[in-house]
Structure 1
Amino acid sequence: MLRRLLSPHEIATLLLLLHAPVAAFAKPELPSLYEAGLVETVATDAGESHIRLTPEGNAILRGLGIK
């Protein structure tokens, strides 16, 4: 369970990830989203790392009425 409010930048990052996993990139919001269990890194068949929402991240967006 999330025990703090998300910043507007963290919510924007979740929205970005809602539509598709993206290649790993340096965003200052990612460490806190990882720590909260809202995003995860996955490897593609080509060996690239992508970041995607976890079920908890999807639940946050559903709670906001976005999904």
Structure 2
Amino acid sequence: MNQPDHNTNDTPAPAKRPTILRRLLSHHELATLLLLLHAPIDAFAKPEIPQLHEAGLVETVSSDAGGSRIRLTPEGNAVLRGLGIK
């Protein structure tokens, strides 16, 4: 008996979910994520913040004093959980 060929299905394959990291994190970036695990830090206090922000691992939030603070995003927390840290 003929089996249906699943490879010729006209429906498109589900899109792959983009991965969080496009590259390996440096030890400085990992250290910054660890700092943020315990408390937000002042915006751009560390030179690694722009790269982490671009990767979606940190976000900028307004503080009560009107300044900007940096904190982990859910994706940043996921990276630390993946390392067994959180």
Give the structure-1-normalised TM-score. Answer: 0.92
Q: Report the residue type matching 1:41 in the other structure.
A: T
Of structures 1 and 2, the larger Rg is shown by 2
Structure 1 gaps of 5+ residues are none
Corresponding residue number in structure 2 for 1:13: 32
SS in 2 for 1:3: coil
Deviation string for 1:13-53 (max 9, x for gaps)?
00000001112244221111010000011002221211000
Number of residue equivalences: 67
- Alignment pair present for 1:56 and 2:75: yes
> 2:38 & 2:75 partners in 1: Cα distance?
16
> 1:38 & 1:25 partners in 2: Cα distance?
14
Flag the structure with higher helix content.
1
| Alignment root-mean-square deviation, CA | 1.0
Give the alignment partner of residue 29 of structure 1, picking from 48, 69, 82: 48
Q: Report the residue type matching 1:58 in the other structure.
A: N
> 1:45 & 1:26 partners in 2: Cα distance?
18
The structure, 1 or 2, with the larger RCO (C-alpha pairs under 8 Å, 6+ apart) is 1
> 2:50 & 2:59 partners in 1: Cα distance?
10
Give the structure-2-normalised TM-score. Answer: 0.73
Give the fraction of aligned pairs with identical amino acids, expressed as a percent.
81
Structure 2 gaps of 5+ residues are 1-19
